[in-house]
Structure 1
């Protein structure tokens, strides 16, 4: 039997590669001579750099950059072997876990560190940069990122605005004179897996602001700031991103990059699948495992589980999802081709215990599923 294992990470517990190893252990306990293909996946957010690096090689570059609250942090990005392209994870420099409990300030958090990673990659010769924008700590429209590349965000008096989305209510003009030729000549792609618009009740501030510590009053101010930002983008560059699906990703970073850097938004999940050759790996498979920390109705919306299910179903291969938490109904996933889904929990357990024991539980669940398949 050929078995393909193509999961996302179990965030806070196991990387996608570690999930693959755990499931493989269970498969081989049930079927020692199985041919197993490990294909760690990601949806364009955290973990994408590792998946792409494992598939294509390249060199990790580590820098000290400004974190989301301005405090220095060490962050890494991937430079291709030939130095012409780079993969940057926003979460590495501007992610929510980098904000200490005592320094939460939703109005001031920004994406400067991510821009510093990009600027370094461009200086080294990268002319194609993939920016993976999951896990943002800020709602600044990507202005910190673009400021690090040479853009200036000015008020009505021509003074430069301070960092953060809260200051965007005073935005009057964007000055791109400092954007060098190297940056202008770089192709930017954004790996994005959400469809939220920039502003409004489903926008970046309203939906994701509270997750980043924003109070109700701060959410309103951030939404006003992003609206002002979008108005200026429309007036200066002729690009309307107010209600553009996906523009609200990463606190509006997607919308800002689309308008200012002429970036292209791509499905992170599909991009990773193409990079790691998932379709090719599925050839000849008789069983496919996928999974993520939580499988629910949202998993059908462009997540790893939904893509793997669809590709496997197109080839007539049974596909099983394993998850730390399973939240039905899963009708949408089954319609895409998912054969079955199982929680790895073996009984009532505290979350902390589940997290520590995830590898063991994955192995046990995979073993029982394979025994059913070959029995």
Structure 2
């Protein structure tokens, strides 16, 4: 029996590599002769650089930058000198992981730190910058990044505004620099969400609450995002707020597009290109594709890794199994999407903290149990 493993991380408890180890260990308890092939994966969010490192020879560059609240930190990006490509993970400079829970407030946070990483890569000589979006603590529509490239955002009295969420609705004038990017360079925004910038499915309503926004703050941020979209259309001649994906990472995708001229690319598709899984499946006989993430919910089938893997399974006629800590998504919808089985590893009688601390053993036990109860033919 041959299994291809391509899970995401279990956020806060297991890296994707550790999830692979746990899956393999569990399957071998029931099917000792099982063979495994692993592929690095990311949907463009947390773990983006790890997925790139696993598939490319790249140099790691460390840069002095700032966190979402403007405090000085260091963060890294990856650089491929042969191709002139650089890879930036937004979460390393503008991510929620950099803030204590009590500090999370998308009205006060900025993407400036990510802008510094992109600028550093360009200064290094990179000509194409791939920016992995996700895990952000921000809802500033990329104003912070734009500020690092010379854009000025001013209010009705001409005062220069700090590029944070609370000032979105105060922008009266946008002053663009003469040149944004060096000639011949480009930015690509990597993400796997389809949300627009504003509205009920936009960046504020869908994602800001998990970043610490109160209902009042969500309403204020949504007004601000709508307002900025109008100002960009009036002053820069670009109307992009309603485009699918513009709302990614608190509107950072929108900002990268309208201020830096970025194009969008799906994160899962990008990583599949890097890791070569499509070519591998064309020439190999595989019994199962095994994927997963910490929690499978309604968003797991909205362009994310699991949907990408189910698409691969459907194309190649391979059953797809997903392992997770917990599943809140509709099981029938998951089956229609192409999942043969969803294996929940968490112990519902235990606390979240206990389950996260014991995630490795739980995943291993769950996989062993599944294949013990569902032995493959000929095993």
Q: TM-score range by the shorter chain?
A: over 0.9
Deviation, structure 1 residue 102: 4.5
Identify the residue that residue 289 of structure 1 maps to in structure 2. Answer: 290
Structure 2 CA distance, aligned partners of 1:106 and 1:318? Answer: 41
Displacement of 1:207: 2.4
Which residue of the partner structure matches residue 135 of structure 2?
135
CA distance in 2, matches of 1:129, 1:52: 13
**2:376 maps to what in 1?**
373
Secondary structure of 2:240 counterpart: coil
- SS in structure 2 of the partner of residue 197 of structure 1: coil
Higher alpha-carbon deviation: 101-110 or 12-21: 101-110
Q: Over the residues paired in the alignment, what is the CA RMSD in angstroms?
A: 2.0
Note closer, same or farther for the CA distance 1:348–1:286 as it changes in structure 2 (3 Å cut): same
Following TM superposition, by how much is the alpha carbon of 1:73 offset from its aligned partner in structure 2, in angstroms?
A: 2.3
- Range with greater deviation from structure 2 (354-363 or 96-105): 96-105
Task: Give the superposition deviation at 1:14.
Answer: 0.7
The unaligned stretches of length 5 or more in structure 2 are none
Given that residues 94 and 113 in structure 1 are in contact (C-alpha distance below 8 angstroms), is that contact kept between their aligned partners in structure 2? yes
CA apart distance, 1:101: 4.1
Distance in 2 between residues matched to 1:137 and 1:118, nearest whole Å? 18
Determine helix, strand or coil for the equivalent of 1:49.
helix
Question: Residue in 2 aligned with 1:260?
Answer: 259
Q: Is the 8 A contact 1:65 1:72 kept in 2?
A: yes
Q: CA deviation at 1:292?
A: 0.7
1:141/1:253 contact within 8 Å kept: yes
- CA offset digits 1:24-69 (Å, max 9, x no partner): 1223333333321011311111112101111112022222311101
Alignment partners' CA distance in 2, 1:57 and 1:82: 10
Task: Identify the residue that residue 337 of structure 1 maps to in structure 2.
Answer: 338
Q: Which structure 1 residue ranges, 5 or more long, are not aligned?
A: none
Q: Residue deviations 1:266-293, cap 9 Å, x none?
A: 1111111121112233331112211111
For the residues of structure 1 that align with 2:251 and 2:14, how far apart are their CA atoms? 29
Q: Does the CA contact (< 8 Å) of 1:40 and 1:51 recur in 2?
A: yes
Whole-Å separation in 2 of the counterparts to 1:322 and 1:314? 21
Aligned partner of residue 76 in structure 2, secondary structure = strand
Which whole-Å CA distance do the structure 2 matches of 1:86 and 1:296 have between them? Answer: 32
Shift of 1:175: 2.2
- Indicate whether 1:298 and 2:317 are aligned: no
Taking the aligned partners of 1:39 and 1:322, their CA distance within structure 2 comes to 16
Q: Is this contact kept in 1: 2:193–2:304, CA < 8 A? A: no
Task: Measure, in 1, the Cα distance between the counterparts of 2:370 and 2:215.
Answer: 46
CA deviation profile, 1:220-275 (whole Å, cap 9, x unmatched): 33223222211121112222123222211111111121112221111111111121
1:1-375 → structure 2 map (5 Å cutoff): 1-82=1-82, 84-177=84-177, 179-182=179-182, 185-282=184-281, 283-345=284-346, 348-371=349-372, 372-374=375-377, 375=379
Q: In the superposition, relative to structure 1, how do residues 83 and 112 fare at CA in structure 2: closer, same or farther (>3 Å)?
A: farther
- Aligned counterparts of 1:43 and 1:349: Cα–Cα separation in 2: 29
Number of residue pairs aligned between Structure 1 and Structure 2: 374
Kindly tell me: are residues 320 and 49 of structure 1, through their superposed partners in 2, closer, same or farther at Cα, counting changes over 3 Å?
same
Distance 1:150 1:107, change over 3 A: same
Residues 297 and 157 of structure 1, relative CA distance in 2, 3 Å threshold: closer
Structure 1 CA distance, aligned partners of 2:199 and 2:348? Answer: 42
TM-score by length of 1: 0.93
